[in-house]
Each structure stands twice: as structure tokens, then as C-alpha cells.
Structure 1
Amino acid sequence: MGQPVPATGRTGTTTDEYTPDPRRWKALSVCLLVGFMSLLDVSIVNVALPAIERGLGASESALSWVVSGYALTFGLVLVPSGRIGDALGRRTAFLAGLVLFTVASIVCGFAQGAGWLVGARLVQGVGGGLVMPQISGMIQQLFRGAERGRAFGMLGSTIGLSTAVGPLLGGLLIQGFGAAEGWRWVFFVNLPIGVLAFLLALRLVPHACAERDTGHRESLDPVGVLLLGAGVVAVMLPLVEERQWQGQGKWLLEPAGVLLIVLFVWWERSFRRHGKAPLVDLGLFQDRSYSLGTLLGLLYFAGFTTIFFIFTLFLQNGMRYSALQAGLTLTPFAVGSAISAAVGGRFITRVGRPLIAVGLALVLLGLGGASLAVHEVQNSAVGWALAAPMLCAGLGSGLVISPNQTLALRSVPVAQGGAAGGVIQTGQRIGSAAGIAAVGAVFFAWLAGSHNWATALDYGLITALCFVAGALVVALVDVAYGRRTARREAREEG
């Protein structure tokens, strides 16, 4: 765990000159509302796919793009969006992203064909990706110390709730508005939320968040944007299209993506040597807490997001649950995550990375219990058997996502908060795509071989557990290194 340093303002001033804005908590509530809406669309669409298939005659490939296209563009624009917010004002970028997301949601709801829906989803992903870095950037800017931990804890609760509540809310909308047109309301529901959030943001988000950083504005690094964007697309595209693209040729994009990212690193260093502000300050990765936090987030999201993917398939297709019943089964995870994220945000600055390690251990325990429950209860009562394990996994998850982001960003200067948060979230999106590709491949391979949904779920969960265990190893390495550093410093002082 990296050593704490004084928090800095946009101009490099220390925390001593920080004056809390009286509207900061109200502004945070608006940010969390918008964050909930944009992240909800990652998971809410899953339960609507059968209805979309029937309503629009969409092919399997088109349905895949409805889900993965949003994730792809969302992840693609995160880092450039964070930089744009740092340079041109986070409030402005936040409002622009909110408008784009809301308008694209309306277009999705009125879609008359699969191509129309996919195109609107791509734009919707851009809007969501523009919004999210501004939220973490504004938390960096408006809060300090323990308050910042609490704010990130509330963001973590929002992330957990939006991911887990998505299937439940989607099931409710489809049941309420009918199988034929209910899927459209999965998108229309964003309209009243978006309008309300926009009006509240105009009133409550401080104009200080519209402040521009002149140094960043004068060197927006378009070459860096293109290199990173192309690299992210090359890495993510084969992962999100793993089941649709036949043959092994698609994997050639992976080394090409790695090469582009290497070129991006070289360019950023060169750009900095010329006295300009790069898209991403690679010096951030010299801070152990930031670099390990980014890696931990990537690994955890590779395991975390796949849980809902395979459980939704198992419950709806294997156990013949309705969309609403499947959503209700996953609700304990959302409840546990919301509770522990709020608690974790209060204690993370005092406890540090050991708290995250405890959370990861609880996730492993909960998912192991879920696997056992599926084996022992192979009938319609499996949803009840899954309640306690999913609650345990949710309680653990709430101690991971937002506390990890709090620790990773605590030494980052406020002026770089948007871009730094964008890098972390891009890693999370790449992790999600890689996890779904890997877990999905194992899940469908065992399903094809055994024709047993419980067996397929079991091996899919084992694969997801490997990613979570990898995140736990990273956390334990950081804990051990931090303690060794503390002992060395104590000896030097003595």
C-alpha cells in the first residue's frame, strides 16, 4: 500500500488550502444517480435479450453487439473522456455525456431494427464513458481525507447496486409492460432519470467543477488518444466477439493491440519530454498503490461481472426462471454489496489494503457456497438456496470495488483525477470483457459436452474464482510489501 501524500488541488496546492464546498454532498448525489443509470445499462439489457430477439428479429450476432457494443465504446472513451474533463471542465463534460446518453437511450427505445438498436447502443456507450471519469474526478476535487473515502464508498455501493439490480429491474419492466414491448422500457426508463439529473446537476454541481486546466487544454495529445483507442479496440474486440467470430484469426488482434499500447507508452514518454501534458501520466504507475490497484481492479472485474452473465443463463434457460425470478435471485448480492460498500468507505483510509483482502476472501467463500448450493438443490428451490451465498459474495464485493479505487487514487493529484480514474475503469472494462470471454467459453464448452446446466455453471464459477483469487494474491502482495516497508522505515527512524 503506497504511503499517503498530501492531497493536491488543481493548481498543486495542499490540503491546508482546501475549502469544503457546502453543496458537495448534494452534488455527489446527482453524480451517483447518473452513475447508477449509466452502469445499470451494462446489466439490465441481459434479461431483455429474448424479448429483443422476438420483437426485432435480431440475430445472435446482433444481440451480442447490443451488449458488447455498449461495453466496447464505454471502455474505449474512458481515458480520453477523463482527460477532456481535466482539461475543459468536469461539469461541462458531465452534462454533455448525460445529454448524449439520455438521447441515445430514447433512440434505442424507438428502434425499428437490430442495426438501429446496435448503433444507438454504441452512442449510448460513448455517453456513459464520458460521464464516469467525471464522477471520480469530481469526488477527487470536492472531497478530502475520510470524506473522500466515504464518497468513494457510496460510489462503490452504486456500482454494486447497478450491476446486481439490473436483471431485477429489467425483469420488472418486461413483466409490467409485456413481453412484446417491455424491452423498449428498459431504455425509456432513462429519459425521466436523465432529465431530472440534468436539472439537478445545473443547480447543484459547483461551478468550481467547470474549472479548466490550461496546461492540459493546450496539449490534448490527439496522437495518444488514437494510439490508446486503437490498442483498446484491438484488445477488447476479439474478447467481446469471441463467440460470434469463427476461427482463430481474430486472436491476431491481441498482439497487435499490445503493440499499439507499447507504442502509446513510448509516445506518452516522448510527449512528456517535450514539456507537454500527456494523455496519461505514466509516472502514476510508479506509485505502488495505483499500479496494483489498477491490476487488482482488472482481475476482480474479470471474475465479478461474469457471475451475473452465467447465473442469468443458468436460471432462465436451465431452471426456466422468468426474467423477474432470475433478477430476484441475484438481489441478495446487491443488498450485501450496498451495505458493505458504505461501511468499507468509512474504514478504508484507516485499515488499508487488508480490508480489500478480507472482501475478496468473502467473495471466494460466497461463490464457493453458490456452487455447492447448485449441486445440492437441483430444482426450482435453487433460488432460495443461493440467497445466503450470494449475500456473502455481495458483502465481500462491497469491500473491494470502491475501497480499491479510493486507495489507488489517494496519491493522485486532483488535476489528474479524471484521466487516472479513466485508466482504472478502462482496466475494469477490459477485465470484464476478458472474463466473460473466458468464463463463457468454459461454460458453453461444458454445457455442450454434458448437457447439464449445473455442471456448466460449476466450471464457469471455478474459472471466475480463479480471477478473484488472482486479485486476492495482488492484495496480499501489497499488504506484505507495505508491512515490510513500514518495518524498514521504523528501524531507520529508531
Structure 2
Amino acid sequence: MNSPKTDAAPVPQDDPTADPVRWRILFVLIITIFMTLVGVSIVNVALPSIRIGLDASQSDLQWVLSGYALTFGVVLVGAGRAGDIMGRGGLFLIGVGIFTVSSIAAGLAPNAEWLNAARFAQGVGSGLLNPQGLGMIQHYFRGDARGRAFGYFGTAVGVSVAIGPVLGGLLIELGGPELGWRLTFLVNVPIGAAALILGLRWFPRPLIIRLPRTGSGLRSLDPVGALLLALAVLAILFPFVEHSGSALIWLLLPVGLGLVWAWVWWERRYLRLGLSPMVDLKIFSTRSYSHGITIMTLYFMGVTSVWVLVALYVQEGGGKSALESGFFGIPAALLSASAAYWAGSRVMRLGRKVVIWGLTLALVGLGLSIGVVLLHEAGLVSIWWLMASLAFVGMAQGSVISPNQTLTLADVPLDYAGSSGAIMQTGQRIGTAVGIAVITAASFYTLAATSWAMAMVTGFGLIAAVVFAALLVAIKDQRDRARLRRRAHPAHSKMPAQTLRRHFDPHSADRLRSPGSRAADSPAPARRARSRWG
């Protein structure tokens, strides 16, 4: 799609970052992510009503959550690489369509088995569209504009987290135990339909997915690598999301690690053959990328469990309703949205310092929340004071997630934008699954022996330990960036790290694209590509 002319200096006609339609594209991406996140948070509130409405067992309810998480995590990286090769816009809209249709199926489900099948399909749709969204932001935005784009993205995340539980509670109150939970799925339909219509109207053409026809073209999709990684993620995630109680299920963990080793071996072999692998493993030698993935995985391993523990504590320990428990996260979510916008407009200037401040705020919020829980146990303060202490965690969320995404993907080549973003999201999924399983298990073990207050102290203490580990990684990354500035040009040692990388790093994605690369939203011809890194 040619870029319209502006009053500014002429720009290349194939430069997507000069096209004002990119902000419309971002709007479509944001409302879609908003839909998927609202859908997840609503389901958490709707589980008791689903149990009543479908006479579902505890295992059925677990799979309402776990089935979505599994399929979402399994297809992420393969979908990201497919978007890099075949075009992101078309795959994004296919993912939106699958998610929307499966939301209708879930809302009309006659039994628990049907509902869980629809949730599996929702996970596939979400796994298809999410990496395309990240890849398209990288494709259409550079520098400070990319930071602002991810800031708007983070704002949508914060608002969706705030609205989801409250909206779910209201729908259940209005519809009752039989209709209410169905409305929590059907509410996705108008949003999904709007995203499809606007995407078809605004996304660059062509949107048709063109499968490679030649043998080398098919090999560029790296189907063996995609299968190995999908099986590895499945084997690693499954023990943490399946609560059967069998010890044998944990044998899948070493199997998963073995599959990861096999995947690494295959990707290296693929590259040696002169083919374009699913993921060029040399990307992990880019410190901003490897550090960013580590920070994101640790952060999600810890902080995601905060809201699980708070919901349980407020309802079972504090006697509040599901609707009331939804209000506890509103100040945090709104501050998260505000912080994401603030941080997004400054992250390219301040670098990893924004993430360090955010992680520090998370530790402050966790410490204050432990204090509120202990004081409430002693009868000195109301449980509602948790809204104030958790507000610091909300500010942390806005200061960590979107800025870290911006910095992590800043030096990734556009040819691997989708798959690289998907690897980061896979780290988030694995971190979330491991964190919730371990931290909630430790909290329930403590609860069995003592009280809800001590269970919360145990859980929040473990979360703080994981967040502190993420903080150490962020500090190390900041020091590495300072060292890079000094080595790159002593006279410019005070320049922001991201600016210096664009000036002095020949591998910067904002400066250099890999040979033969094309616009990532139009189908690229199959090619025997050399490694982007050498």
C-alpha cells in the first residue's frame, strides 16, 4: 500500500512507518487484544455460574481455563513464523474470526464438553492473532512512535483488566446463573465483528494468505521445527495446568526439555543447510532480547498470581462476593493503563530504567499488601485498604509490560518479528502457568496449617522473591547498556542506549533489514535466506 504524501519531506513509497493509516491498524489491534483479555478475566468470574448452569465438575472447570492456555501457548511461535512468511494481516484476521466464532459456540454450549472444545478453539484463535499484532506494531512503528504504540497497547491491557471482572459480575447478575455466564462469552462477538470489518477495510492488501508452492518455499515455514517446539511447550505446560494429582504427569517435564534440545539441534541444522529457520537462535545472543524475555517470564511467573490470591482471599477469607472482589483491582488496573501511556512515551529515552522503576514499585506494593493483610487479621484496618496497596502493583504493571516489550523487540530483525514476539509471549505463558501452580500450592499448604493471613504472606513473599530476581536482571541489562554506550563512543556516553544502538549497532532492526526482506504484511516469496546475524 503506497503511503499518502504529506507536507513533510518526501518519504519512500514503500516505507510503512510513514503511512498515517498505521494508527488505524493499531486501533484494530488494540480492540482485538482488548476483546481477548476481557474474555479471559470474565471467565475467571463466571466459573461458579458455569458449574451451576452446566452441572460441570471441578475437572470441567479446570479445563475451561487450562484448555485455552494450552492451545494458546502451543500455537504461538509457529503462528508467529507463519505470519513472517505469509503475511501478518491475513493471519491476524483469521485468528479474530476463529476467536469470535468459538465465542459464539461457547456461549451456546449445551454441556461442559462442548464448552471446553470451544475454549480450545478460542486458544487457537488467540494464539494466531497475538504474534501478528506484535509483529505489525514492529513493522509499522519505529523509535519513539513504537514506544507510544506499545504504550497505547498497555493502556488497553490495563482498561480490559479493570473492566473484565466488573463486567462479568454485572452480566451474571443480570442474566442469572443460566444466562449470565453465556453472556460473558457472547460479549466478545460484537467486538470481534467490528475488528474484522475494520481490518478488512484498513489493513494493506493483499490479505489473502498465499501458501508457498515450491519445495524451498514450504521448507521456509520449517514445519518440523514448528512441530518440535509445539510439542515441547505442550509437554512443559501440561503438568502445570492439569490437576489430576498423578505424579506420573510430571515425567512430561524432562520429555519437554528433551524436545527443546531436539528443537535447538534442528534449528541449527536448518540454518547450516542455508534455509530460513523458524527462529534464528543467534537472536538470543542479542542481550536486550534475552534479558527482556527473562524479565517478562519472571514477572509473569510472579505478579499474575497476585490477582488469583487476592480473589481467593477477598471472597473466602474476607466474605466478599465475586462482584465485590472485582472492585479490588480497579484502581490498580486504571493506574496500569495510565502508567503504560506515560512509560510508552518515554521508554526510548529512558531505556530499561522505566522497567527498573516498575519492578521496584511492584515490590513496594507487595510489601504494603502484606502489611494490610496482617493488620486486617489483627482487626486494625479494613480489607478494602488492599485497593490502595495493590495500586502500586498496577503502576508496576504499566511500567513493566509494554516498555519491556518495546526494549526486548527493539533490535529484532523484521523478518523474525512475529516469531520473536511469539517466543516472548510463550515465556509469559510458561511463567504464568508455573507461577500460579507453585505459588497457589504453597499458599494452600500454608492455609491448611495456619490462616488466610499467613497463606497470603507466604504467597506474596514468593511473588516478591521472583519479582526481585526480575529486578536483578533489569539492573544487569541497564549496566550492559551503559557499557555499550561507553564502548560505542566515549563522547556520547550519556546518550540513551536505544539511540546509540541505532547509531552504532550494525544489527539494529531500526537501521538495517535483512537482505531480501520485504514488507512484513505482504506475502514474501520463499527464499534461501542467510542468517540475519551473520
Same fold (TM over 0.5): yes
User: Which position in structure 2 is the counterpart of 1:425?
Assistant: 425
**Secondary structure at 2:18's aligned position in 1?**
coil
User: Which position in structure 1 is the counterpart of 2:330?
Assistant: 331
Identify the match of residue 194 of structure 1 among 189, 192, 195.
Answer: 192
- Residue correspondence of structure 1 range 50-65 to structure 2 within 5 A: 50-65=48-63
Is this contact kept in 1: 2:144–2:348, CA < 8 A? yes
1:415 shift after superposition = 2.2
Is this contact kept in 2: 1:77–1:229, CA < 8 A? yes
User: Which position in structure 1 is the counterpart of 2:456?
Assistant: 457
CA 1:389/1:131 → structure 2, altered by over 3 Å: closer, same or farther?
A: same
Is this contact kept in 2: 1:86–1:216, CA < 8 A? no
* Pair member with larger Rg: 2
Alignment partners' CA distance in 2, 1:181 and 1:313: 24
User: Which position in structure 1 is the counterpart of 2:303?
Assistant: 304
Is this contact kept in 1: 2:17–2:139, CA < 8 A? no
User: Which position in structure 2 is the counterpart of 1:476?
Assistant: 475
- The residue type paired with residue 207 of structure 1 is R
1:18 shift after superposition = 5.5
- Is there any run of 5+ residues in structure 1 with no aligned partner, and where? 1-12
C-alpha distance after superposition, 1:234-281 (max 9, x if no partner):
10001112xx22132222111110110011011001011111111111
User: Which position in structure 1 is the counterpart of 2:406?
Assistant: 406
- The residue type paired with residue 408 of structure 1 is T
Alignment partners' CA distance in 2, 1:229 and 1:199: 31
Alignment partners' CA distance in 2, 1:300 and 1:310: 16
Alignment partners' CA distance in 2, 1:287 and 1:209: 32
Report the TM-score, using the length of structure 2 for normalisation. 0.85
Alignment partners' CA distance in 1, 2:293 and 2:38: 22
Q: Which moved more, 1:182-191 or 1:207-216?
A: 207-216
1:112 shift after superposition = 1.6
User: Which position in structure 2 is the counterpart of 1:376?
Assistant: 375
CA 1:345/1:208 → structure 2, altered by over 3 Å: closer, same or farther?
A: farther
1:59 shift after superposition = 1.3
**Secondary structure at 1:443's aligned position in 2?**
helix
**Secondary structure at 1:256's aligned position in 2?**
helix
User: Which position in structure 2 is the counterpart of 1:357?
Assistant: 356
User: Which position in structure 1 is the counterpart of 2:240?
Assistant: 239
1:138 shift after superposition = 0.7
Aligned residues: 479
CA 1:310/1:224 → structure 2, altered by over 3 Å: closer, same or farther?
A: same
Is this contact kept in 1: 2:168–2:184, CA < 8 A? yes
1:326 shift after superposition = 0.7
CA RMSD in angstroms comes to 2.3
1:16 shift after superposition = 11
CA 1:383/1:32 → structure 2, altered by over 3 Å: closer, same or farther?
A: farther
- Is there any run of 5+ residues in structure 2 with no aligned partner, and where? 1-10, 494-534
Alignment partners' CA distance in 2, 1:80 and 1:100: 17
**Secondary structure at 2:276's aligned position in 1?**
coil
1:382 shift after superposition = 3.9
Alignment partners' CA distance in 2, 1:144 and 1:431: 28
User: Which position in structure 2 is the counterpart of 1:255?
Assistant: 254
Please tell me whether residue 76 in structure 1 is matched to residue 74 in structure 2.
yes
Q: Which moved more, 1:380-389 or 1:289-298?
A: 380-389
CA 1:380/1:237 → structure 2, altered by over 3 Å: closer, same or farther?
A: farther
CA 1:197/1:309 → structure 2, altered by over 3 Å: closer, same or farther?
A: same
Higher helix share: 1
1:468 shift after superposition = 1.2
1:19 shift after superposition = 4.9
User: Which position in structure 2 is the counterpart of 1:268?
Assistant: 267
1:211 shift after superposition = 8.9
Alignment partners' CA distance in 1, 2:299 and 2:238: 20
User: Which position in structure 2 is the counterpart of 1:343?
Assistant: 342
User: Which position in structure 2 is the counterpart of 1:44?
Assistant: 42
Is this contact kept in 2: 1:136–1:421, CA < 8 A? yes
C-alpha distance after superposition, 1:304-335 (max 9, x if no partner):
21111111111122222112111111111101
User: Which position in structure 1 is the counterpart of 2:105?
Assistant: 107
1:371 shift after superposition = 1.6
User: Which position in structure 2 is the counterpart of 1:292?
Assistant: 291
User: Which position in structure 2 is the counterpart of 1:119?
Assistant: 117
Please tell me whether residue 227 in structure 1 is matched to residue 228 in structure 2.
yes
User: Which position in structure 1 is the counterpart of 2:64?
Assistant: 66
Alignment partners' CA distance in 2, 1:487 and 1:210: 48
User: Which position in structure 2 is the counterpart of 1:3?
Assistant: none
